[in-house]
Chains A and B, each alone.
Chain A
């Protein structure tokens, strides 16, 4: 069994309630942080732990915390980003549903470290029942003196509010989330100013993912240095991976980032191999917006080294032959899956979720979807592939927020690695409507000079 820090107690009956959680040693980290530690030492421990943001970008959490402006007399805020809408990602839901008090404990410690007396959980509207669970947990914590006024006699006040989103993927972007939380249309803001300077109601704000904030609890418990010893390189600690697709055992797994991708897919402890005895075709390793990888590049890097489940190894080779850890939404595609259809599905999602604020994303996502629809329905031309490539190139990096990039990357990677499948679709119009390209031949990995 791999090391478990977050999900260690997830299977204890009744862990959702305060009494059981407390009996299992819950809130001891909060007690330690509030009573024995100073604000500076908590931030220092998180910095030492090397904890990287678990929402997708992987930005060091301690660093983010140290950027927060501390002007005199202006309240600061911590916002927990629970708007987990990335297709393929469902780790936060699991965490909040089964261990709501773990998140609250992490939020309490983090709020104390950041000086936030009003902390918000922005939860996606579709997680309605999870929001209820969180609200119940907040009620219990308040009753037992972990939230509210003068917590543990330290003079620190903290209240956690649950805010339900209205079902927009874009509100997972931190500035759009802040706008939405303020009651406005969820359009991303233009940065700078960054939220650490002017965030919620123009006050200094830190926005962190659910898993990041929950990971603060084991960091405080074991100390930043100990936490940093887990994992490898700059990928410290444990990571929740939500595995789905054509595998035998879909679900949320906690890994310590030293395991190889091959082990993760085929070992019985984790995914348990490809379902129905099929062969692995491709994988989207970090949620729908990261580049898709063909099986040959997924298991080994372009240099022939084993690929591991961590930030560095998954992004080895850049976008030419690598991908990203992203949010940990691990989607496996078997030999029966059509890459063109898969890319179309993703493009449709991004077209639907674009906020429509800046032109490349608003117009480009719709255009890409229409072209992919055309190819998928057997009406494509070979020139459409080059056109798609040109469109994604003009979207990427030219938009206000990363949604433009997120829409461009899957299309780019699909063309980069599966161009022959696209061409097969175009050249075999009738056949492509009834049968599948299958595994026949991958595009060979692009040669990378050593």
Chain B
């Protein structure tokens, strides 16, 4: 093997050496942290993706060692390869911060913001993006565009109103399946993801479009409205699957498997299998194997993102710390009899009813008795 050529690239004053042909985004991800630009449409496992959402715009303040001129415009870091001696400004550039806030505003312009009823809430990249780079409030005062909901087959629902047209699902359907049936209709702000004349998709791997969707436009119908992701515990599991690698994440509550997804890395992309191929999973694993007995559970999955899913599940393991205060300390030395009791006053737990004095399970009658006694 010939020796790999390494390029020096500086992102936000941090220098790193990467092989020639690496994109600015990949180099910045190697540095990690806030230096990595956000990406809504780029997906390293999908050929041709990226360049569309414009959230990963960066300023190139020095083109390369040979040609130190800065690039005149902001460039999409996901599709621009590094040059030796390149200097890139991401969060250190005011222009980038301003442009990115603009892009977030544009992305949210026609987005319904129905997070409270959206299955993607909690693991939505658009939520993260607007939280980190957007502004509160909107300057848009017109009606947002809406679409009818469509079913892409038995298990997938397409809710175009939420779509940000990242084209990831189009590339997925194109690259994982043989027939091209999934694409974009129309153009401009009325463009929509669609199958060829509302056909349903029956490919064995089509379920992966749910995993690549950065927002809640493509959702798993076997999981719709069943639970919120932050109540579920992600577990790594595998099974001997004849069609795919069978390496998945189970989302459990108690012993019940609520949904099955592919394993995702810290950038929200599908992890590679040990043999270096993307770990796409088949529809059987995703939609049909919903029993714990179907799976060999490897253990709890580490959620490394600063996502709400990570909150409280595996304290210590993932950067969150166990609270040091005790309930007793908060409640003036009074330790609660029931969890409800930590509230000083509420509709259910009236101050004159001391739930702790009840023997056994309470019902309406005990409440009434207690009130009478009081």
Q: B183 to chain A: which residues have CB within 8 Å?
A: 185
> What's the nearest-Cβ distance from chain B to residue A7, in Å?
35
Q: In angstroms, how far is the closest chain A Cβ from the Cβ of B243?
A: 30
* A357 to B183 CA separation, bound complex (whole angstroms): 12
How many Å from the CB of B107 to the closest CB on chain A? 5
Given contacts A356-B165, A360-B54, A365-B188, contact A394 B140 (CB under 8 A): no
Among B1-9, B71-79, B340-348, the stretch in contact with A: B71-79
**Which of A190, A351, A387, A399 makes the CB contact (< 8 A) with B189?**
A351
- Nearest CB of A to B250, in Å: 34
Decide if B102 is an interface residue (CB 8 Å cutoff).
Answer: yes
A-B contacts counted at CB < 8 A amount to: 90
Chain B residues positioned under 8 Å from A393 (CB to CB): 102
Do residues B106 and A370 form an inter-chain contact, with CB atoms below 8 A?
Answer: no
Q: What 0/1 readout, one digit per residue, does chain B (71-111) give for beta carbons within 8 Å of chain A? A: 00110100100000000000000000011001101110110
A355: chain B residues within 8 A (beta carbon) = 187-188, 191
Residues of A within 8 A of B109 (CB): 363, 366-367
- Interface size on B, as a range, is 20 to 34
Give the distance in Å from the alpha carbon of A352 to the alpha carbon of B189 in the complex: 8
Contacts of A185 in B (CB 8 A): 183-184
Q: Are B106 and A363 in contact (CB under 8 A)?
A: yes
Question: Using Cβ atoms and an 8 Å threshold, which residues of chain B touch A275?
Answer: none
Considering only residues 375-417 of chain A, those with a C-beta below 8 Å from chain B are 387, 393-394, 397-400
Chain B CB within 10 A, most for which of A354, A358, A370, A400: A358
Whether, in the assembled complex, A285 has its beta carbon less than 8 Å from a beta carbon of chain B, the answer is no
A394 pairs with B102, CB closer than 8 A: yes
Choose one: B76, B99, B189; the contact of A362 (CB below 8 Å): B189
Could you tell me if B189 and A358 are in contact, using CB atoms closer than 8 angstroms? Answer: no
A356 contact set on B, CB distance < 8 A: 165, 184, 186-191
Residues of chain A contacted by B110 (CB below 8 angstroms): 363, 366
CA distance A355 to B165 in the complex (A): 11
Bound: A362/B142 CA distance, A = 16
B264 within 8 A of A: no
CA distance A252 to B208 in the complex (A): 55
The reply to whether B186 and A358 contact each other, CB–CB distance below 8 Å, is no
B188 close to A354 (CB less than 8 A) = yes
In the bound complex, do residue B54 and residue A362 qualify as a contact, i.e. CB atoms below 8 Å apart?
Answer: no
The answer to the question of A220 belonging to the interface, with a C-beta cut-off of 8 Å to chain B, is no
Chain B interface helix/strand/loop/mixed: loop
> B187 contacts A365, CB within 8 Å?
no
CA distance A198 to B55 in the complex (A): 26
**Residue ID in chain A nearest B185 by CB atoms:** A185
Inter-subunit contact B107/A359 (CB<8 Å): yes
The reply to whether A190 and B188 contact each other, CB–CB distance below 8 Å, is no
Question: Is A360's CB under 8 angstroms from B106's CB?
Answer: yes
Is B52 within 8 A of A354, CB to CB?
A: no
**B165: nearest residue on chain A (CB-CB)?**
A356
Say yes or no: is B51 at the interface (Cβ < 8 Å to chain A): yes
Q: How far is the CA of A194 from the CA of B51 in the complex (A)?
A: 15
Tell me the complex Cα distance, A72–B189, Å: 43
Point out the residues of chain A lying under 8 angstroms from B186, CB to CB: 356
Q: Name A370's closest neighbour in chain B (CB-CB).
A: B142
Give the Cβ gap from A355 to chain B, nearest Cβ, in Å. Answer: 5
Residue B277 at the A interface, CB < 8 A?
no
Least distance between A175 CB and chain B CB atoms (Å): 12
Decide if A364 is an interface residue (CB 8 Å cutoff): yes
**A137 within 8 Å of B by Cβ?**
no
Q: Which of A341-355 contact B (CB under 8 A)?
A: 351-355
B41 → chain A, closest Cβ, in Å? Answer: 9
The verdict on A363 contacting B189 (CB below 8 Å), with A397-B74, A398-B102 known, is yes
Residues from chain A with Cβ under 8 Å of B54 in the complex: 358-360, 398-399
Q: Does B139 contact A (CB under 8 A)?
A: yes
Given contacts A357-B165, A359-B52, contact A397 B188 (CB under 8 A): no
A353 CA to B186 CA, complexed, in Å? 10
B235 at the interface (CB under 8 A from A): no
Residues of A with C-beta under 8 A to B167 = 357
Q: Which residues of B contact A387 (CB under 8 A)?
A: 139
Q: Once the chains are docked, how many angstroms separate the CA of A398 from the CA of B105?
A: 14
Question: A354 CA to B189 CA in the complex, in Å?
Answer: 8
Q: Which residue of A lies closest to B50 (CB)?
A: A190
Is B165's CB under 8 angstroms from A360's CB? no
Measured between alpha carbons, how far is A397 from B76 in the docked complex, in Å? 11
Across-interface contacts of A130 in B (CB, < 8 A): none
Residue of B nearest to A397 (CB): B73
B79 nearest in chain A by CB position = A190
Give the complex CA separation of A185 and B186 in angstroms. 10
Contacts of A363 on B, CB cut-off 8 Å?
106-107, 109-110, 189
**CB nearest to A405 among chain B residues:** B73
Assess whether B53 is interfacial by the CB under 8 Å rule.
Answer: yes
Closest Cβ of chain B to A167, distance in Å, is 11
Q: Is the CB of A362 within 8 A of B53?
A: no
Q: Give the contacts of B21-63 with A (CB-CB under 8 A).
A: 50-55, 57
A364–B186 Cα distance when bound, in Å, is 17
6 A-B pairs closest in CB distance: A394-B102, A356-B191, A190-B51, A363-B106, A354-B188, A366-B189
Given contacts A360-B106, A367-B140, 20 further A-B contacts (CB under 8 A): A168-B187, A185-B184, A190-B50, A351-B189, A356-B165, A356-B184, A356-B187, A359-B52, A359-B54, A359-B55, A359-B107, A362-B106, A363-B107, A366-B109, A367-B106, A367-B109, A370-B142, A394-B105, A398-B73, A400-B51
Pick 8 A–B contacts, CB within 8 A, sort by A.
A190-B76, A351-B188, A356-B184, A359-B164, A362-B106, A362-B191, A398-B102, A398-B103
